Amino acid sequence: MDKGFLPVVPTSKSKQPRSEAPPISMQELQGSLSSYFDDVPDPRVNRTKRHLLKDILVIAILSTIAGGEGWEDMENYGISKQQWLQKFLDLPNGIPSDDTFRRVFEKLDPKVLEQKLTQWVKQLIGPVGQQVIPIDGKNLRGSYDRKTGVNNLHLVTAWASENRLVLGQVKVENHSNEITAIPALLELIDVTGAIITMDAMGTQTEIVRLIRQKKADYVVTLKKNHPTLYKQVKTWFETARANQFGGIEVSEDSRTEKAHHRVETRKVWAVPVAALGRLYKQEDWADIQTIVIVERFRYLWNTTTHEVQFYLSSLPVDAQVNGRAIRQHWSIENQEHWILDVTFNEDRCRIRSLNSPRNLAAIRRMSLNAVNQETTLKRSLRQKRKRAAMNDEYMMLLLKSFCQD
């Protein structure tokens, strides 16, 4: 007991303090923020421009990083931090009001902020390289308006699984679906060398052809929206498995993982397309090489679930490589969608007028990227955001990601 009250004597084996990242200067921050936001077209008429658009956008991002969720939070953050903000923002007429934030984000062209998000990430990490890039859609449940008949905002985003960054977002237009939004997103980002993963909605011949044109590989889910092809692969697998894959070139991999009070066992088979004879309309699937089959057993405390899923892949016949890509597809759900809903309260946000839901979605993704880029504080994203709200020096550390050469 009394040993705990003695002074700690450093030894050669003592853990050395973690080196802190070098700080950034106010001049560097000011210049970088200006380079990002000074060229954003201002939707306001000249007589109403009492506050600089750059100042409004920066305060919105800082407020969101610090836990803010709406217009009043942006104003309150600005008022609380005005003395510090004046060190790198102009603020010619003080802090904008909540109504000013609302009016600006209602009118601002959301495509501009989405382009800024993509350009920033490209400058931040350069080429994405050979990492898995899941593409998936997300509904903003709170953005609907029953009175005016406005539907939920539906966005398709691309996620860099290794860098843990949102690469870009595109809106799914009304009376449309993700099939039209995914090509627009692929044109927005550089995916050279990456492995693109998508669920069944993105399993379209035109989309995989575009992926190959962009010099990337694909692993996409095959379900009953392609009934003839799905039935062909399912029937072949059941027959081949019953015969223990006799005479068939097959790559296999098995994994068992324990987490969240459940045990999951996965068996992965990868077989060359030639093993199936010839796929239905095989020529339409650009550079397809492999059919992947994944069987999953999930053992929960009160039940066991079982499923078999099929995938089309342009990757070589390797169960480990294809299985890893399929597994990492879920990072967009666990590390982006879930975080935005639970930590940033995106689904509960009832801001829904004009362009504001889409613009705020871009601001949240910029904020998520900035928090994920800071790795010196080994805490949860929630705790990092609280630290940034309380500590201006730590907020400066988060903003360092905007100051890349």
DSSP, residue by residue, 85-133:
HTTT---TTSSPPHHHHHHHHHHS-HHHHHHHHHHHHHHHH-S--S-EE
Same domain, 223 and 320: yes
- At residue 102, the pLDDT reads 95
The model's pLDDT over 216-247, given as tens digits with 9 standing for 90+, comes to 999 999 999 999 999 999 999 999 999 998 88
Strand 251-259 to 262-272 pairing: antiparallel
- Is pLDDT at 8 greater than 60 in this prediction? no
- Is pLDDT at 272 greater than 60 in this prediction? yes
Residue 130 belongs to a domain = no
Residue 46 belongs to a domain = yes
- At residue 215, the pLDDT reads 95
- At residue 18, the pLDDT reads 44
pLDDT band at 120 (very low <50, low <70, confident <90, very high): confident
- Is pLDDT at 12 greater than 60 in this prediction? no
- Is pLDDT at 385 greater than 90 in this prediction? yes
Last residue of a domain, one of 328, 353, 387: 328
- At residue 175, the pLDDT reads 61
Same domain, 91 and 32: yes
The model's pLDDT over 15-71, given as tens digits with 9 standing for 90+, comes to 444 445 556 677 777 777 777 788 889 999 888 889 999 999 999 999 999 999 999
Rounded-to-integer distance, Cα 268 and Cα 257, Å: 14
Rounded-to-integer distance, Cα 71 and Cα 74, Å: 5
Same domain, 226 and 321: yes
Same domain, 397 and 319: no
The model's pLDDT over 122-158, given as tens digits with 9 standing for 90+, comes to 887 778 888 999 999 988 876 666 666 667 788 999 9
- At residue 15, the pLDDT reads 41
Tokens encoding 62: 């800082």
Mean pLDDT of the chain: 87
Residue 165 belongs to a domain = no
- pLDDT > 90 fraction of the chain, expressed in percent and rounded: 58
Rounded-to-integer distance, Cα 80 and Cα 94, Å: 12
Same domain, 289 and 387: no
- Is pLDDT at 13 greater than 50 in this prediction? no
Residue 66 belongs to a domain = yes
Residue 347 belongs to a domain = no
Rounded-to-integer distance, Cα 292 and Cα 231, Å: 14
The model's pLDDT over 329-338, given as tens digits with 9 standing for 90+, comes to 999 998 999 9
- Is pLDDT at 173 greater than 90 in this prediction? no
Rounded-to-integer distance, Cα 125 and Cα 369, Å: 11
- At residue 23, the pLDDT reads 62
- At residue 149, the pLDDT reads 66
Same domain, 389 and 315: no
Say which residue, 144 or 384, is predicted with more confidence. 384
Tokens encoding 306: 């079982």
Contact 219, 292 (CB under 8 A): yes
Same domain, 311 and 383: no
- At residue 220, the pLDDT reads 96
Residue 301 belongs to a domain = yes
Last residue of a domain, one of 307, 328, 349: 328
Residue 397 belongs to a domain = yes
For the chain, the domain total comes to: 2
| Range(s) of the domain holding residue 240 | 219-328
- At residue 33, the pLDDT reads 73
Residue 68 belongs to a domain = yes
Rounded-to-integer distance, Cα 94 and Cα 76, Å: 12
Last residue of a domain, one of 308, 328, 348: 328
Q: Which helix (H) or strand (E) holds 56?
A: helix 53-65
- pLDDT > 70 fraction of the chain, expressed in percent and rounded: 90
Lowest average pLDDT, out of 34-43, 279-288, 358-367, goes to: 34-43
Same domain, 295 and 393: no
